[in-house]
Structure 1
């Protein structure tokens, strides 16, 4: 099978491309660096031409109220080009619980992306993943000041990027779900505890202060970002990933 992987040079995209090619498929990565602009449409028709499946792993450059416009324009352009190129399957990566956090602009934008795909012209699959283990450092940096990191007790169930990429590749090579697959890591932690584990493992002398008003995850209520009962549980534990 032939795959056009839009955003195929990023964290998940590069791994998904490798997995698909190792499995004997033809997966081609596309991004701004390869001359494909999903906002202007430059290079897009050529990128998806002849692809059996289009995988969209691009992300908004901002997490603020500009993100809905990014996802609307990019999805409209990608779906139009994919339909023109006769693709039979369109795959996106989203977030577990994304529709349960209305106070975050970015999460509302991702829901919009899902809705555009569901209403679009192509058979589709949506993979919703929990928070990436690789992003915990960035989450902590948002609320770091001096020797202190302030983090809320929001429950998270982190998943390794390699595990996400394997599932994305598997779903993309399969029959369209015309629905959503949820995936998550095996362990649930309060975010403040994740911070402490991370700092200890890295020999970082900063301390974590529990603050339920700190950072973007303060807008999350309850355990909506953890796995549903029907979620597929990935094998990589956070402690093992850290080590």
Structure 2
């Protein structure tokens, strides 16, 4: 099976390509570095021509009010090119609970991306994952002031990028779901406690202060970023840290 992985050189995309190749598929990575631009459309038709499946792992360069425009333009361009090329399956990566956090610009943008795919002309699959373990340090940096890190106690269920990539590859190699598959990490943490675990493991002397108003995840109410009924990945956070 020939699979075009758009955004195939990034954190998730490069791993997806390798998993697909290991499974015997012809997985071809495409990105701006290979001459493919999802906004201008440059190189898109050539990238998807001959592909049985398109996996779109491109992401908005910002998390603010500009992000919906990125996803609308990129999906319009990719879906049109894929339909013209006769692609039989289109896969995207989204976020567990994304449709339950309308307060966040980026989450609304990802819902838009999902809706465009569902309404589009190509059979599809959506893989929703929880927050990547690889991004936890960035989350800490957003609300660091000197030696203090302010974090809300928002429940999250972090997942390793390796596990996300494996799930995306498995879905891409299968029949279109025409629906959603959720995948989550094996443990739920309060974000502030996860921050303390992370800093302690790294010998970082910053102090985590619980602040329900701090950072992007302060807008999240309840446990919508977790899912007890989803597919459970294997990697535990402390094992990943080690």
Indicate the TM-score class for this superposition, using the shorter chain for normalisation.
over 0.9
- 2:100 aligns with 100
Report 1:140-159 matches (<5 A): 140-159=140-159
Matched, 1:24 2:24: yes
Separation of aligned partners in 2, 1:175 and 1:24: 16
Matched, 1:47 2:47: yes
- 2:129 aligns with 129
**CA deviation after TM superposition for structure 1 residue 228, in Å:** 4.4
The C-alpha deviation readout for 1:163-197, integer Å capped at 9, x for no partner, is: 00000000000000000000000000000000000
The C-alpha deviation readout for 1:23-73, integer Å capped at 9, x for no partner, is: 110000000111000000000000011000000000000000000000000
**Residues 158 and 238, structure 1, Cα contact 8 Å, conserved in 2:** yes
Stretches of 4+ aligned residues off by more than 4 angstroms? none
Matched, 1:237 2:236: yes
Unmatched segments (≥5 aa) in structure 2: none
Give the secondary-structure state (helix, strand or coil) at the position aligned to 2:86. coil
Give the CA RMSD over aligned residues.
0.5
Separation of aligned partners in 2, 1:181 and 1:202: 33
Separation of aligned partners in 1, 2:49 and 2:199: 46
**CA deviation after TM superposition for structure 1 residue 227, in Å:** 1.2
How many residues get paired? Answer: 242
- 1:58 aligns with 58
Report 1:121-200 matches (<5 A): 121-200=121-200
- How high is the TM-score relative to the length of structure 2? 0.99
The C-alpha deviation readout for 1:187-239, integer Å capped at 9, x for no partner, is: 0000000000000111111110000000000000000000142x100000001
**CA deviation after TM superposition for structure 1 residue 18, in Å:** 0.3
